[in-house]
Amino acid sequence: MNLLKFIDKLPLPRVLQPVRVKDGIKYYEVTMTEFHQSLHSSMPKTRVWGYEHTYPGPVIEVSKGERIRVKWINDLPSKHFLPIDKTVHGAGKDTPEVRTVVHLHGGITPADSDGYPDAWFTNGFKQVGPFFEQEVYEYENLQDATTLWYHDHAIGITRLNIYAGLAGYYLIRSKHEQSLNLPKDKYEIPLLLQDRTFNKDGSLYYPKKEADDPTNIYPSIVAKFMGENILVNGKVWPYLEVEPRKYRFRLINGSNARYYKIRLDSNQPFYQIGTDGGLLEEPVTIKSIILGPAERADVIIDFSSQKHNKIVLINDAKDEFPEDPKINQSNTRFIMQFRVTLPLLSNDTSTIPPKLTDINFYKEQEAIRTRHLELIAQDDQYGRRIRLLDYKTWDDPITEKPALNDIEIWSLSNPTTGGHPIHLHLVKFQILDKQLFDVEHYEKTKQIKYISERMPPAANDHGWKDVINVFHGETARIIAKFAPYTGRFVWHCHILEHEDYEMMRPFDVVIRKEQSRLKKLIYNKTWSHIFKNT
Ligand SMILES: [Cu+2]
C-alpha cells in the first residue's frame, strides 16, 4: 500500500479516569477488546486490539508517591488474528491461543503486579498461567517523574499482542518536575512511534515465516519484523499543527524491532531533558537521537523561529541499524510533520532550565559483583537462528539472583551481527561505559579480548535508563541497585521477536543470609508485599 504522508492529524490519547477512589487509592479498570480503527484516512479501517477501545490505549497519569490499583481485563476473542508459532516457548498447543498480561515498562513494581510473562490470563480470567497471582495490580509510583508505557508481555506472543495494538502511555508527575516551568498542558505531547505493514484491505500484515526459513514449521517465528509505514499515536505519517513556541514531546519507540535515529529537517536541535527513567541533570542540545525499541526521550522543540514552516521529523536509522550498508531511502525515513500554522495564543513563558535535577550516580566500587553476560546467536533444533542470553533458555535454572539492595554491574557483550536493546524489569540503571572487543577472536575462543578503551556514555545517555542498546562487537556495562522489592522478575531483549523466542530470562531478587532475620516473615510466593518498604 502506498499511503500519502501528512494528511491525517496526529491523534492525542485521552487521560484515563479512575472508576472510583477508595481509601484515597484510585482504582482503574482497563479492558482489552478487538475493534476496527482508522489508521489512515485513505485506507479501510483496520482490525486492532486496544485498551479501553482505543489504539494506543489511554494515558494513565499519576503523581509520584500516589498508589493506584488497576484491574486489567481481557475481553478479547479466543482466536488470535496474527500468526502464532506453536514451537515458541509458552505458546504450545496446550496453552490458550489468546493470553494477555500487562507490564508497566520502566515501572518499579512489586513482582506480583509486574506482569510476569507466565502470569497471563484469558478472557474473563477463565484460564490463567502458572505464575498468575491476582486480578488487580498495584503500582506504588515511588519513582521520579518520567515517561513509562504499559504493554502486553504474555509468554510466546508478546510480539503479536503489541503489534495488534496493546500499548499505552503511563506518565509519572512530580512536584519537582512541575516546578521547572517546562511546556505543559496542550504544549506537552506524547509521540508513540511504531511501524506496521498493511494488506490491501487495510488489515495488519505480519509475516508467517522468513523467506529463507529452513523448516516445515508454519507459521514460523521471524528473526525480527519491521513495518513499511511509520505510525505515531496510531496514525500513519500524521501531522501536528503547532504554535510558534516551545513544545515538550514525550517520545517512545514502541516498535517491535525498528531503531529510529530522529532529527528535524529544519536542522534545528532537540533539547533533550529526560531519558527512560527521568530527567537528565542538564538539558542536552542535540541534532539527532537514537531510539531503540522501548527507549524513551523527553525533548523540547522550539518552533518560535519557524512561523508558517512545515518541519518533518526524519528517521535516519537504516533498517538493520547500525550495520546495514544501504542508506535507508524508503518511506520509513519519514515519521511525521509539524506545521507551525497556529497563531501564538499567548506569550511562551515556559523555560528550559539549565539545571533539571540531581542524579545520584553509583560508583563502580559500590558494586558487590560484576556479572559477565553474553548475548549470543546459534541454530535451534530446527535449523533456525535463535538468540540467547548467556547461552541459556527461558526454562534453564535461574542464574541471576541479586540480593535485595545489592548494587551490581552487568557487563553485556554482543558478538552477534545485530543490536540488542536489553531491558531489565524492576530497576532503573546507569550506563558505566562501552568497550569494543574482537569478535573473530571471540568466535574462535569464546573469550572477550578488548580492542578499545572504555567509552563513557553520550551526554544524553548519562541518566536513568532501563534499556541499553548493545551493538555488534560491544560490551556495555550498566550498574543498578536491586531494590526495593524481592521476587521474580525478567530481563530480556526488547526486539519482540527475540524476546518471544528465548532471549528472555527470569531473575530473582533474594534475601541474603545476613538478611535472613526477615526470612521468618516470608509466607507468600513473591515476598514482595512484606519487603515493599525495606
Ligand atoms: Cu535482541
pLDDT at site 522: 52
Say how many Å lie between the CA of residue 258 and the centre of ligand 1: 11
C-alpha to C-alpha distance for 451 and 94, rounded to whole angstroms = 48
Say how many Å lie between the CA of residue 497 and the centre of ligand 1: 8
Mean pLDDT of 29-47: 98
C-alpha to C-alpha distance for 158 and 496, rounded to whole angstroms = 7
Mean pLDDT of 363-380: 97
Calculate the alpha carbon distances from 375 to 411, 451, 492, 522 in Å. Answer: 10, 18, 10, 35
Say how many Å lie between the CA of residue 32 and the centre of ligand 1: 27
Q: What is the DSSP letter of 457?
A: P
User: Is the model's pLDDT at 319 over the cut of 90?
Assistant: no
Say how many Å lie between the CA of residue 293 and the centre of ligand 1: 10
Mean pLDDT of 436-453: 97
Say how many Å lie between the CA of residue 100 and the centre of ligand 1: 22
pLDDT at site 153: 98
Say how many Å lie between the CA of residue 419 and the centre of ligand 1: 6
pLDDT at site 320: 83
Say how many Å lie between the CA of residue 387 and the centre of ligand 1: 7
Say how many Å lie between the CA of residue 503 and the centre of ligand 1: 7
pLDDT at site 264: 98
Say how many Å lie between the CA of residue 302 and the centre of ligand 1: 35
Say how many Å lie between the CA of residue 438 and the centre of ligand 1: 20
Say how many Å lie between the CA of residue 281 and the centre of ligand 1: 30
Say how many Å lie between the CA of residue 156 and the centre of ligand 1: 15
Please say whether the beta carbons of 32 and 50 come within 8 A. yes
Say how many Å lie between the CA of residue 382 and the centre of ligand 1: 19
User: Is the model's pLDDT at 529 over the cut of 80?
Assistant: no
Say how many Å lie between the CA of residue 357 and the centre of ligand 1: 32
Say how many Å lie between the CA of residue 373 and the centre of ligand 1: 14
Say how many Å lie between the CA of residue 406 and the centre of ligand 1: 26
User: Is the model's pLDDT at 128 over the cut of 70?
Assistant: yes
Say how many Å lie between the CA of residue 348 and the centre of ligand 1: 43
Q: Which of 86-95, 480-489, 521-530 has the highest mean pLDDT?
A: 480-489
Query: pLDDT band at residue 145, thresholds of 50, 70 and 90?
Result: very high
Q: Which of 334, 316, 341 is nearest to 237 (CA)?
A: 334
pLDDT digits (tens, 9 = 90+) for 342-365: 999 999 999 999 999 999 999 999
User: Is the model's pLDDT at 533 over the cut of 70?
Assistant: no
pLDDT at site 29: 98
pLDDT at site 257: 98
pLDDT digits (tens, 9 = 90+) for 177-202: 999 999 999 999 999 999 999 999 99
> Hey, what's the cell of 414?
554482543
pLDDT at site 521: 54
Mean pLDDT of 495-508: 98
User: Is the model's pLDDT at 318 over the cut of 80?
Assistant: yes
Say how many Å lie between the CA of residue 469 and the centre of ligand 1: 9
Query: pLDDT band at residue 531, thresholds of 50, 70 and 90?
Result: very low
C-alpha to C-alpha distance for 481 and 97, rounded to whole angstroms = 37
Decide: residue 490, CB within 10 A, 0-12 exposed, 13-18 middle, 19+ buried. buried
Say how many Å lie between the CA of residue 492 and the centre of ligand 1: 8
pLDDT digits (tens, 9 = 90+) for 208-253: 999 999 999 999 999 999 999 999 999 999 999 999 999 999 999 9
Say how many Å lie between the CA of residue 198 and the centre of ligand 1: 24
**Cell 491523534 maps to which residue?**
11
pLDDT digits (tens, 9 = 90+) for 153-175: 999 999 999 999 999 999 999 99
Say how many Å lie between the CA of residue 493 and the centre of ligand 1: 5
Say how many Å lie between the CA of residue 17 and the centre of ligand 1: 36
Percent of the chain whose predicted confidence (pLDDT) is above 70: 95
C-alpha to C-alpha distance for 31 and 72, rounded to whole angstroms = 6
User: Is the model's pLDDT at 517 over the cut of 70?
Assistant: no
Mean pLDDT of 290-310: 98
Say how many Å lie between the CA of residue 334 and the centre of ligand 1: 24
Say how many Å lie between the CA of residue 253 and the centre of ligand 1: 15
Q: Is 119 helix (H, G, I), strand (E, B) or coil?
A: coil
Query: pLDDT band at residue 285, thresholds of 50, 70 and 90?
Result: very high
pLDDT at site 519: 57
C-alpha to C-alpha distance for 192 and 467, rounded to whole angstroms = 16
pLDDT digits (tens, 9 = 90+) for 107-123: 999 999 999 999 999 99
Mean pLDDT of 358-378: 98
The average confidence (pLDDT) of the chain is 95
Say how many Å lie between the CA of residue 61 and the centre of ligand 1: 30
User: Is the model's pLDDT at 340 over the cut of 90?
Assistant: yes
Say how many Å lie between the CA of residue 377 and the centre of ligand 1: 9
C-alpha to C-alpha distance for 481 and 479, rounded to whole angstroms = 7
Query: pLDDT band at residue 17, thresholds of 50, 70 and 90?
Result: very high
Say how many Å lie between the CA of residue 444 and the centre of ligand 1: 22
User: Is the model's pLDDT at 261 over the cut of 70?
Assistant: yes
Say how many Å lie between the CA of residue 7 and the centre of ligand 1: 34
Query: pLDDT band at residue 323, thresholds of 50, 70 and 90?
Result: confident
Instruction: Give the angle 92-94-95 at the CA atoms, nearest 5°.
Output: 75
pLDDT digits (tens, 9 = 90+) for 385-434: 999 999 999 999 999 999 999 999 999 999 999 999 999 999 999 999 99
Say how many Å lie between the CA of residue 112 and the centre of ligand 1: 26
Please say whether the beta carbons of 191 and 233 come within 8 A. yes
Say how many Å lie between the CA of residue 139 and the centre of ligand 1: 28
